[in-house]
Amino acid sequence: MAQASKTSTRRPDSLWEASLTSDTRCESEPWEHGLEADITIIGAGLTGLWTAYYLSGALPDAKIIVLDLAGVGFGASGRNGGWASALLPMGLNRLEREYGREFAVATQHAMHSTLDEIIRVTEAEQIDAGVTKGGTITAARSLPQLDRVRHEVETYARFGFEDDYHLLNAEEAAAICNMTGIQGALHTPHCCAVNPAQLTHGIGRAVRRRGVRIIAPACATSIRRGVVTTTHGDVRTRYVVRATEGYTSMLPGQRRASIPLYSMMVATEPLSDDVWQTIGLHDRPTFDDTRHLIIYGQRTADGRFAFGGRGAPYHFGSRIDDSFDSNEQVRLRIISTLRDLFPALHDAQFTHHWGGPLAVPRDWACGIDTDWKNGIITAGGYVGDGVSTTNLFGRIVTDLIADRELPDYEPKVQQDHLPFINRKTRRWEPEPLRWAGINGGRLAAGLADRLETRTQRPSRFFGGVIDGLLRR
């Protein structure tokens, strides 16, 4: 993990963090001088740990080290909404436009199969992360939202996924997720609800059993050919995998490569069976809707509501700070939104509130960059859709390195039709332009949602502002 504006190792006060025990937490090793490795991975989140997991299988004799500022799952990997989904920040239409239909279809198939791979590994490694493949439901609570849901279903059908993504009417949707005002929904089986901290620490423990060393605190300050410099000293290495995600902007020269965008969550106390009978979500599908200011939720394995959304401000200069991990105004707004969706929660107690930064590249698209001259591979940019994509990227990075090391290596991921590798993206604008643009887009999203609710017509002007400022 890259160095934050205020270097800290204080763990987030999240529901997921609170669920960890001495038996499930993956501990790190302290720094020691004279470190050398064949492969050094910066970041002990899901990208870094999945990469270490598959690399340790493909190259069992390789010396692999994972470095992190604060230990396993400190960043977005341990704080997110717990969706292992088949979503990508770039949709099928954009993939087709930029790379062709074959690439778009192959990418979606790869995301579907990634969910099964995550389930396979959690079972093989005996990781109890509350993984339930209950699918997901994208609800529509207004006519503009219903139009967007229909368009999304039609898009999936156009690419041959009509058996995977279905349009539900109001009655069918309410039977799954009894949300107020629901008029219809998209439903797909391709999503798992998980406890992300348990998943990340479980992969960390599996990695350590395979001989990988996880060293923290060790804050990377620079990366160059053959050397990773940290606040404690240098690591000599052949390859570097940079998996810094939301903390990338804190590395020298990377402030405009991606921005740290904060997302916030709340969690309730365990709810009674009567309350859940009213709400639904019996098979633990995750849920959202198509409002512009994103929301997301799940029913946890222990019967709580974990619910979050965007709307927290972007901080000038891509700053990251512990004080940004909570926001009382956003907390109250998230609780109000959830109670509006599910009035049965009116008297429920909210026991946790937390947040953290996720990485947003300028083109809102994830990717893997290879700099073989210097032995540096960079992976990330998930825009909040990384719980499952990190697994796919970990396998791709493993294939890329193992293919250079083993003459007869056969890649496990068919990459010929995947658009992730060495894609070019421009940098974010300098300040104060990006501060004004990002926060302007955030305000426009909230205004667009309010106008659509009031008028029942799509907010085309503000939707265009959002796309112009934030999506392209």
* Structure confidence at residue 11 (pLDDT): 79
Q: Is residue 251 part of a domain?
A: no
Is residue 106 situated within a structural domain? no
CA pair distance 5, 22, nearest whole angstrom: 30
Within-domain flag for 77: no
Half-sphere exposure at residue 6, Cβ-oriented, CA atoms within 13 angstroms: 6
**Residue 128 CB contacts under 8 Å (≥ 6 apart), including other chains:** 24, 122, 198, 202
Domain range for 468 is 430-472
Task: Please give the average per-residue pLDDT across 284-298, as a whole number.
Answer: 95
> What's the pLDDT score for residue 83?
97
Average pLDDT, stretch 422-433? 91
pLDDT for res 295? 96
Q: What is the pLDDT of residues 114-145, one digit of tens each?
A: 999 999 999 999 999 999 999 999 999 999 99
Residue 334 CB partners (closer than 8 Å, separation 6+): 264, 265, 266, 295, 307, 308, 309, 311
Peptide bond into 432 cis (omega under 30): yes
Tell me the CA distances in angstroms from 57 to 35, 41, 154, 203, 395, one per residue in order: 22, 15, 40, 13, 11
pLDDT given for residue 20 in this prediction: 97
pLDDT (average), residues 176-187? 97
- For residue range 238-277, list pLDDT tens digits in order: 999 999 999 998 888 888 999 999 999 999 999 999 999 9
Reply yes or no on whether the pLDDT at 7 is more than 60. no
Query: Percent of the chain beyond pLDDT 70?
Result: 96
Structure tokens at 158: 């156009």
| 110 Cβ contact list (under 8 Å, min separation 6) | 392, 413, 418
Residue 4 has pLDDT above 50, yes or no: no
Q: Flag whether pLDDT at 5 surpasses 50.
A: no
Which residue's entry shows tokens 């709307």? 311
What does pLDDT average to over the chain?
93
Contact, 70 vs 45, CB < 8 A? no
Instruction: Assess if residue 443 is contained within a domain.
Output: yes
Q: How many domains does the chain have?
A: 1
pLDDT classification of 467: cutoffs 50, 70, 90:
low
Q: Percent of the chain having pLDDT more than 90?
A: 84
Q: Is 406 part of a structural domain of the chain?
A: no
- pTM to 2 decimal places: 0.95
* pLDDT above 90: residue 466: no
- Region 358-374 average pLDDT: 95
Per-residue pLDDT, 206? 98
Give the integer Cα–Cα distance in Å for 280 and 305: 12
pLDDT at residue 9, as a whole number = 65
The pLDDT tens digits for 64-114 are: 999 999 999 999 999 999 999 999 889 999 999 999 999 999 999 999 999
Classify residue 238: in a domain, yes or no: no
Q: Is residue 458 part of a domain?
A: yes
Q: Is it the case that residue 470 has pLDDT exceeding 70?
A: no
The residue among 93, 193, 73 whose CA lies nearest residue 133 is 193
User: What's the pLDDT at 463?
Assistant: 53
Q: Residue 468 pLDDT more than 70?
A: no
Q: Is the peptide bond before 217 cis (omega within 30 degrees of 0)?
A: yes
Report how far Cα 307 is from the mean position of its chain's Cα atoms: 15
| pLDDT greater than 90 at residue 465 | no
* Residue 261, beta-bridge partner list: 358
Confidence of residue 417 (pLDDT cuts 50, 70, 90): confident
Residues 194 and 86 sit within 8 Å (Cβ to Cβ) = no
- Inform me whether the pLDDT recorded for 462 exceeds 70: no
> Per the domain annotation, does 225 fall within a domain?
no
pLDDT for 252: 85
What is the mean pLDDT of the segment spanning 198-211?
Answer: 98
